[in-house]
Homo-oligomer: A and B are copies of this chain.
Amino acid sequence: MRVRLEDVARATGVSPKTVSRVLNEEPSVKESTRQRVLAAMESMNYRPSPAARGLAGSRSFLIAMLYDNNDNPASTYLAEIQDGVLDACDAHRYSMMVCPLRLRGQDFIRRVDALVAEHHIDGVIMTPPLTDNAALLRRLKELGVPYASISPQHREGSIGVCMDEQHAAKVLVEHLIELGHRCIAHIVGIASHGASRWRLQGYKDALAAAGLPFDPHYVVQGEFTFGSGVMAARQLFALPQEPTAIFAANDDMAAGVMWAANERGLKVPRDLSVCGFDDTPLATQLWPPLSTVRQPSRDMGKLATLQLMEVLRGRGTGLLVQVPYSLQWRESTSTPPQKS
């Protein structure tokens, strides 16, 4: 029937324990033995049983990807992250479970407890805003479950991946200023996300660096959704002096701004420049194509997972890796309209 570890042992003429050692990459095996075992595994098409390994050992070779099912960013973002996590799992023969949590609704800690208790999860990958939920982080620490974060707010001591979003936002807005814009608005994302804070701060940094005044009227609250972008834009259009450029904290909201601009009869970028953040597929599917900051989500998912694996394999304590952003200048931005 099934090829077992014992079969490999017999075929190689060693004990099961030695095969187990090879399987787990333990160092104390003579190289020649190791090679023979490996060859036998290969030729016999041996596949270790995760269930047996999980039951007998302390590791399950299972990680869970946690995300918030209420206030998550666009699903394309999560899908890309997930693909990246899977890439890393494949490479290290780990399996991944997907675990949507509802941050509102206070039983999400119990969901995590259940996950760990039942499946003996080895580690966790999290996306914002879970990365900054104190209760969740505390519980994971209590449970002794290592975790890696994608874009966590608190960077000291965190492992996972991040991007210098603040600087990216600053460079973005600086370019708008260079184009001649003086009245630049910003639409903020959900407060619990670090992204919202960083992108807002980058906006402020750029204004300050250019000696432009910061006017709170030009900063309106959004929720990272298309609809909230529409609402925010309408609010901005109602100001005595309309902005000539709007920097939305993500692409979905920027799409909302362009929608609202259409509604109002404004032509982008002639009457209004618009930029977003993230470079989701949407960005190039809008008319005109959206200027934005590219965030390599899939790579970020993969890198965060690789850092987690470092911890799980005892190779180190894991790092917070920083990935580079890149600005995508497309047709939604240009010089401001001439003063009438």
Which A residues fall within an 8 A CB radius of B?
A: 2, 47-52, 54-55, 60, 69, 74-76, 78-80, 82-83, 86, 95-98, 100, 114, 117-120, 226, 252, 255-256, 258-259, 262-263, 281-282, 284-288
Q: Are B226 and A281 in contact (CB under 8 A)?
A: yes
Q: Are B50 and A118 in contact (CB under 8 A)?
A: yes
State in angstroms the CA–CA spacing of A287 and B287 once bound together.
Answer: 9
Do A255 and B285 form a contact, CB below 8 Å, given A76-B76, A96-B98? yes
State in angstroms the CA–CA spacing of A12 and B82 once bound together.
Answer: 43
Query: Which 5 residue pairs across A and B have the least CB separation, nearest first?
Result: A51-B54, A262-B287, A75-B79, A51-B55, A51-B51
CB-nearest residue of chain B relative to A83? Answer: B100
Q: Are A118 and B252 in contact (CB under 8 A)?
A: no
Residues from chain B with Cβ under 8 Å of A255 in the complex: 285
With most chain B CB atoms within 10 A of its CB, the pick from A54, A285, A286, A288 is: A285
Residues from chain B with Cβ under 8 Å of A47 in the complex: 114, 117-118
State in angstroms the CA–CA spacing of A118 and B82 once bound together.
Answer: 21
State in angstroms the CA–CA spacing of A281 and B263 once bound together.
Answer: 19
State in angstroms the CA–CA spacing of A50 and B288 once bound together.
Answer: 51
State in angstroms the CA–CA spacing of A52 and B54 once bound together.
Answer: 8
Residues from chain B with Cβ under 8 Å of A117 in the complex: 2, 47
Question: How far in angstroms is the closest Cβ of chain B from A16?
Answer: 16
State in angstroms the CA–CA spacing of A75 and B74 once bound together.
Answer: 11
Question: How far in angstroms is the closest Cβ of chain B from A116?
Answer: 10
Complex partner residue of A285 from B79, B95, B114, B282, CB under 8 angstroms: B282
Question: How far in angstroms is the closest Cβ of chain B from A223?
Answer: 14
Q: Are B75 and A284 in contact (CB under 8 A)?
A: no
State in angstroms the CA–CA spacing of A60 and B51 once bound together.
Answer: 9
Q: Are B285 and A252 in contact (CB under 8 A)?
A: yes
Q: Are B287 and A259 in contact (CB under 8 A)?
A: yes
CB-nearest residue of chain B relative to A114? Answer: B47
Residue contacts A-B, CB under 8 angstroms, 23 given: A47-B114, A49-B55, A49-B118, A49-B120, A50-B51, A50-B119, A51-B52, A51-B60, A51-B119, A51-B120, A52-B55, A69-B83, A75-B75, A75-B76, A252-B285, A255-B285, A256-B285, A259-B285, A259-B286, A259-B287, A262-B287, A263-B287, A282-B285
Q: Are A80 and B86 in contact (CB under 8 A)?
A: no
State in angstroms the CA–CA spacing of A156 and B139 once bound together.
Answer: 49
Complex partner residue of A82 from B80, B98, B259, B281, CB under 8 angstroms: B98
With most chain B CB atoms within 10 A of its CB, the pick from A50, A262, A263 is: A50
State in angstroms the CA–CA spacing of A51 and B119 once bound together.
Answer: 7
